[in-house]
Amino acid sequence: MGGGMGFDEMVVPATDAGWDGLRAILAAPGEAVVALDFDGTLAPIVADPSAARAHPGVVGALRGLAPVVGALVVVTGRPAGLAAEYGGFAGVPGLVVLGHYGAERWEGGVVTAPEVHPGVAGVRAALPGVLERVGAPEGTWVEDKGRSVAVHTRRTGAPEVALELLRAPVADLAAEYGLVVEPGRLVLELRPPGVDKGAALTGFLRERGARSVLYAGDDLGDVAAFAAVEKLRGQGLAGLLVCAGTVGDAPVRELADRADLVVDGPEGVVELLAALGEAVRAR
Ligand SMILES: O=P(O)(O)OC[C@H]1O[C@H](O[C@H]2O[C@H](CO)[C@@H](O)[C@H](O)[C@H]2O)[C@H](O)[C@@H](O)[C@@H]1O
């Protein structure tokens, strides 16, 4: 994408369903929802999760879309308020963040959330001992997310090997405390069951009475949202599924295979969103 191309050359879905989704969004943008993952989709992947920030073009592109589409929503595994802060989303009128895979909602600067699952405290206390017992390599890092706990291996010497070493003991620990494991890009998150990005997205689309959706994601957590859009297509909703593949850190194969459009990471997502805004305004 990019390089001064026109919208019609830039945005070419690989599937009929994707074309249906794109045409529906362009024909009735006021009934469309643009739904976006955060890390890897709007924010480049970095070694330190607390250093992740939205690509500098994100807020401008979203501000261009906000007045012309039905709704903008970010669906993320991050705490909702943190994603809003790292994304600069307070500067985008009407944008909603569904955080913790849909357990939290940020809207107009206010976060709403249920009680923290009691198992999180147990996992938080037990995890250091488990990591020591199984010989987690140097660089293994625990992100305390408040209502979940994530074990990252990106900063170890052999991140994929470390992830495999930790997969079973982390799963056992999660089960012991009534949590589930959410795997992602070099991360295993222990989180409460009962929500996922598919349920979160479906609920939001219903709430807004959407007739079409563009969903963009890059990670395993986004597979549930892709599956939800595929299911809703069978019920009359039009959908365009976008995989934000990245150079040097492979996109999730399953997501790329199911996508109608693959773009080049957050840079490609920004180009897509900016071009979509221009195309809608030009019609
Ligand atoms: O649903 P998302 O918005 O994609 O969030 C998923 C997880 O993203 C973060 O981890 C990932 O990004 C980090 C920063 O680039 C990177 O260092 C890490 O390897 C990735 O897995 C975040 O830290 C997690 O809490 C999110 O659940």
Distances in Å between the Cα of 15 and the Cα atoms of 12, 70, 102, 280 are 9, 24, 28, 21
Ligand 1 touching residue 237 (CB < 6 A): no
Q: What's the CA-to-centroid distance between 31 and ligand 1, angstroms?
A: 30
**pLDDT for position 10:** 85
Q: What's the CA-to-centroid distance between 185 and ligand 1, angstroms?
A: 7
**pLDDT for position 251:** 61
Ligand 1 touching residue 100 (CB < 6 A): no
Q: What's the CA-to-centroid distance between 12 and ligand 1, angstroms?
A: 28
Q: What domains appear along the chain, each with residue ranges and CATH number?
A: 7-114+195-282 (3.40.50.1000), 119-191 (3.30.1240.20)
Q: What's the CA-to-centroid distance between 130 and ligand 1, angstroms?
A: 22
**pLDDT for position 250:** 59
User: Which atom of ligand 1 approaches the CA of 37 most closely?
Assistant: 3
**pLDDT for position 94:** 98
Ligand 1 touching residue 78 (CB < 6 A): yes
Reported as a single tens digit per residue, the pLDDT across 36-81 is: 999 999 999 999 999 999 999 999 999 999 999 999 999 999 999 9
Q: Whose CA is nearest to atom 8 of ligand 1?
A: 39
Ligand 1 touching residue 77 (CB < 6 A): yes
User: Which atom of ligand 1 approaches the CA of 184 most closely?
Assistant: 21
Ligand 1 touching residue 189 (CB < 6 A): yes
Ligand 1 touching residue 197 (CB < 6 A): no
**pLDDT for position 253:** 83
Quote the CA–CA distance of 120 and 56 in Å, as a whole number: 34
Strands (E), 66-195: 71-75, 96-99, 104-107, 110-112, 141-144, 149-152, 180-184, 187-191
Compute mean pLDDT per 10 residues along the chain, 283 residues long, and list them.
72 97 98 98 95 98 98 98 98 98 97 96 98 98 97 96 97 98 95 97 98 96 97 97 74 86 95 96 88
Beta-sheet pairing, 104-107 with 96-99? antiparallel
